[in-house]
Structure 1
Amino acid sequence: MAYREHMLHAALALGIIATALAAIALVLAVETYRAQRSALAAPRTQAPRALPVLPRSVDDDGSPAALGPAAFVINPTKVADVARLEEMARTTSRELGLPDPLLFLTTAEEPGRAQAAEAISRGASVVVAAGGDGTVREVARSLVRTGIPMGLIPSGTGNLLARNLDLPLDTVTSLVQTALSGRDMAMDAAWLRLVPPPAERRDPDPGDEADASDGSDAETGPDPEPTPAQPSEHLFLVMAGTGFDAATMADTDEGLKRRIGWVAYFLRAVRHLGARRTRLAMKVGHGSWRTYRVRTLLFANCGRLPAGIVLLPDAEIDDGYLDIAAVDTRGWLFGWVSLFWRVMLQGLGWRREMPYDAASIDFLRGRTATVALDQPEPVQVDGDVVGEAVELHVRIEESGLVVRVRR
C-alpha cells in the first residue's frame, strides 16, 4: 500500500510539474503572439524617425550613380493591410531619394520567386519580402548569389529569420525603414535535397544526380566551391528537420495558425509526444556513418526559436557551417520535461550533462550531411512540410545571400 501511495504521489508531482511547464510555455507563446500582432497593428499616424542617407555607387565619370528602385514582394494572405504597406513603401522611398518602388503581389501559383526575378530584371536595388517564412524563402531563392540585398517585412506565424537577424519588430514603419536604409549583411544559405519513398519518385532531371553531400566537415578539408541549386533542392534560411518537429507541422491546420499564430504548433505537438522515435544513419562531411534513434533531427543555419528559446547555442548565421542537433527523450512525459529544462538552461549558458538525464541533444557541425532513414518520414524546411523522405542531403552555401539589417 505504501508503495502504491508513493507512486501516486510521484505521478501527481510529475503532473503538476508538467502542467506548470505547459502553462509557462503557453504564456510565453501568447505574449510573443500579442507582440507580433501589435507590431502589425501600429497606427498609421506614427511619425517616422530621421532617415540616413544611402551610399550611392559611382559611375565611370566619377559622378554618383542613381540607385534603382526598391521592390516589394507582398503576400496578400499574410499582410493585414496591403494598401498601407504600399503607401509606406512609396513614402519612405521618396524620403530616401529613391524612385517609386516596384510593387508585386504573390499568388498561389507564383508565391514569390518569379516576382523577385522580375524585380531583379528591372534593376531593383533591394527586394523586400513581405509575408511569412514561405514568402521569404521564395524571394531569397531568386536572390541567392546575386549580391542584391533582401529586406524583410515579416507577417507570418514564426518569423524566425527576422528574429535571428534582430530586426526591429516593434512597428511596420521601423521594418520598412530598415529594409530601405539598413546595413547589408552576408548570411549563409542552406539547401536540402530529399529522396522520396520509391512509390513517389519521378524520373529525375539531369541535375538531380549531382551529389549535394560532397564537401567538407567542420574540421578537415577545403572550403567547398559554391554549387548551383538543383531543381529538387529546397532552400532554408533558419532550420530544416525530420521527426517530431516535421510531424507536428504537418498536423497543424493553416486556419488555426492564422487565428492564434505559432501557438497552434504547441497545441498540436501534444499529439506527437508519444510517437515512435526516428531511426536513422547520418554522415557529416567526410566523417563516418553513425546510427541514431531520435525524437527529432534538426539542421540549423541559426538557433533562436520563438519566445527567446535558444535550441542550438553555437549556431551562427554567417559562419559557413550547418549546426545539427539530434534530439532524443526517454520516459515519455518525464523525458520531455527534462528536454524543456535542458533547452532553457543552455540558453542561459549551462551546457553540462546531467546525471540520469532523460533527454539528450547531440550537437554536430559540418558543411554537408547525408541521412538515411529507416522508413519514410515527413521533412520540413523553415516550418513548411515539403514531403516525405527516406534520404536527406543537406549542404551550406557560405555567404550565399545578402540581407538588410538594422544599422
Structure 2
Amino acid sequence: MDGADDKRPVTAENRTPRSAVVVNPVKVADLDEFRRIVDGALDAAGWPAPTWHKTTVEDPGRGQAEEAVKAGAEVVFACGGDGTVMACVTALAGTDVALAVLPQGTGNLLAANLGLSNDLAAGLEVAVERGMRRLDVGVVDDQCFAVMAGMGFDAQMLDSTSETTKKRIGWPAYLVGAARHLRDRPMRVSVRIDGRPPLRRRARSVLVANVGRLQGGVRLLTDAEPDDGWLDVAVLTPRTLGHWLAMGWALVRRTGSVPRMEVFRARTVEIASNRAQPRQLDGDLIEPGRSLTATIRPESLWLCVPQPEDHPDLAEDAKAAAERGERLVEDARRE
C-alpha cells in the first residue's frame, strides 16, 4: 500500500492523543530539562505524558519509532538532527501515525521546510494545534526521505562541513564545506526517468526532491510540491566559479530559471555515475555508491504542519506558531 491509512491521527475531537518522543540524547544539552519542558507543554495542552525513546549509534530512531507505533502512539515527535528525523519518516511512512518535528540538530532539512529552525516552542505548538498534512515520501533502498536525496556535490558539502562549525555558526557552515569542492571535476552520469532512455550529462550533482527548500530558506525547486505524486529531479552542471555564482545569484533572487540546472519530474529515477560518489538522504550521509534509485510513495506520511495546513508552502504560519508556542513553553518552565 503506497499511502497512509485514510484515518486522520489527531483531530479536534481527539483531545487527548497518545504521543511518543524519539530523541537523540547527543543533540540535547540538558535532556532532563528538555523532557520537563516537553512534558509540561503537552500537559498544558491537555495531552497525556508522552513515552520517551532514546536513539543509539546502532539505531538512530527507526526501531524506537516502530516501538512507539506498536505501543499505540498517535503522534511521534522526532527530536534530533537529519538522521533522527529520516529514521522516523521511514518508520511512520504507510501508517496512520503522525510525525511531529522537534529539531535539535544544526541543519535539519525537514524542519527548514516547515519553517521551524530549532524552535522548540514552534514545534510543540504545530503539533498541539493539530494541523495535519499527508505527504509523499521518496524511497531509496529500504529508507524513506521526506525532502531530498542527492548524489555528488551536495553530499560532498555535507561531508566536508564540521560539526564544530555548525554548532558555532549554524547553517552557513555548509557554505564553508561547499567552497572546498567548487572546483572538483564533474561526474559522468546517466539519469533514467521512468524507464525512458537515459540522459547523459557531466554533472556536479543530481538532486531528487519531494520539497524544494534548502537550508537558510533558499527555494531550489519552486515547483516541487510535497503531495503531488511526483519527484522533482535537478541535474546541476556548473563547470566554473562563474557558473556557481550565477546559480547562487538566481537562487537568492528567486528567479524562475536557474542557469546550469535542468529539472525533470519522475515517479522513479535511476542515477548512475562513472565512479563512486557521496550520497545523502534528507541531509544525512549514506554509504557512497555509483548509483542511486529513488521512487515515490504518494501520500504515505502524516506530518504535523503549521496552519493553514493546505497551503502550498509547508512553512506558512510557522512564525506565528512560534509566538503562540512561547506561552506553552513558558508555562511549562514555571511549573
- Asked whether the two chains share a fold, i.e. TM above 0.5, the reply is yes
Do the aligned partners of residues 119 and 306 (structure 1) sit closer, same or farther apart at CA in structure 2, a change above 3 Å counting? same
Q: Note the C-alpha offset of 1:95.
A: 2.6
Do the aligned partners of residues 292 and 71 (structure 1) sit closer, same or farther apart at CA in structure 2, a change above 3 Å counting? same
Normalising to structure 1: TM-score of the pair?
0.69
Partner of 2:327: none
Which whole-Å CA distance do the structure 1 matches of 2:168 and 2:27 have between them?
A: 12
CA contact (8 A) 1:126 1:180 kept: no
Which one of 302, 305, 318 corresponds to residue 214 of structure 2? 305
Which whole-Å CA distance do the structure 2 matches of 1:116 and 1:380 have between them?
A: 21
Superposed counterparts of 1:311-390, under 5 Å? 311-330=220-239, 332-345=240-253, 347=254, 349-351=255-257, 359-390=259-290
Q: Note the C-alpha offset of 1:360.
A: 1.0
Which one of 37, 44, 55 corresponds to residue 12 of structure 2? 55
Which whole-Å CA distance do the structure 2 matches of 1:279 and 1:290 have between them?
A: 11
CA contact (8 A) 2:18 2:75 kept: yes
Normalising to structure 2: TM-score of the pair?
0.83
- Give the number of equivalent residue pairs: 298
Partner of 1:296: 205
Partner of 1:74: 23
Partner of 2:103: 154
Partner of 1:110: 59
How large is the Cα RMSD of the aligned pairs? 2.0
* Equivalent position SS for 1:319: coil
CA contact (8 A) 2:81 2:108 kept: yes
Report whether the alignment pairs 1:177 with 2:134: no
Q: Note the C-alpha offset of 1:79.
A: 2.2
Larger Rg: 1
* Equivalent position SS for 1:272: coil
* Equivalent position SS for 1:154: coil
CA contact (8 A) 1:74 1:82 kept: no
User: For residues 90-117 of structure 1, what are the alpha-carbon distances to aligned partners after superposition, in whole Å with 9 as ceiling and x for unaligned?
Assistant: 2233233322211122221221111111
Partner of 1:122: 71
Q: Which has the higher contact order (CA 8 A, sep 6+)?
A: 2
User: For residues 60-105 of structure 1, what are the alpha-carbon distances to aligned partners after superposition, in whole Å with 9 as ceiling and x for unaligned?
Assistant: xxxxxx8442111111111233223312222233233322211122
Partner of 1:138: 87
Which whole-Å CA distance do the structure 1 matches of 2:36 and 2:93 have between them?
A: 28
Do the aligned partners of residues 54 and 368 (structure 1) sit closer, same or farther apart at CA in structure 2, a change above 3 Å counting? closer
Letter in 2 for 1:307: G
Q: Note the C-alpha offset of 1:381.
A: 1.1
Q: Note the C-alpha offset of 1:129.
A: 0.5
Gaps of 5+ in 1: 1-52, 58-65, 194-232, 354-358
Superposed counterparts of 1:155-304, under 5 Å? 155-167=104-116, 169=117, 171-193=119-141, 233-304=142-213
Letter in 1 for 2:132: D
Identity %: 37
Which whole-Å CA distance do the structure 1 matches of 2:282 and 2:119 have between them?
A: 23
Which whole-Å CA distance do the structure 2 matches of 1:160 and 1:306 have between them?
A: 7
Which whole-Å CA distance do the structure 2 matches of 1:299 and 1:375 have between them?
A: 19
Which whole-Å CA distance do the structure 2 matches of 1:176 and 1:264 have between them?
A: 27
Between stretches 332-341 and 289-298, larger displacement belongs to 332-341
Which whole-Å CA distance do the structure 2 matches of 1:123 and 1:141 have between them?
A: 17
* Equivalent position SS for 2:25: coil
Which whole-Å CA distance do the structure 2 matches of 1:145 and 1:387 have between them?
A: 25
CA contact (8 A) 2:186 2:202 kept: yes
Letter in 2 for 1:237: A
Letter in 1 for 2:303: V
Do the aligned partners of residues 305 and 252 (structure 1) sit closer, same or farther apart at CA in structure 2, a change above 3 Å counting? same
Which whole-Å CA distance do the structure 2 matches of 1:54 and 1:241 have between them?
A: 35
Do the aligned partners of residues 170 and 192 (structure 1) sit closer, same or farther apart at CA in structure 2, a change above 3 Å counting? closer
CA contact (8 A) 1:158 1:261 kept: yes
Gaps of 5+ in 2: 1-9, 308-335
Which whole-Å CA distance do the structure 2 matches of 1:390 and 1:308 have between them?
A: 30
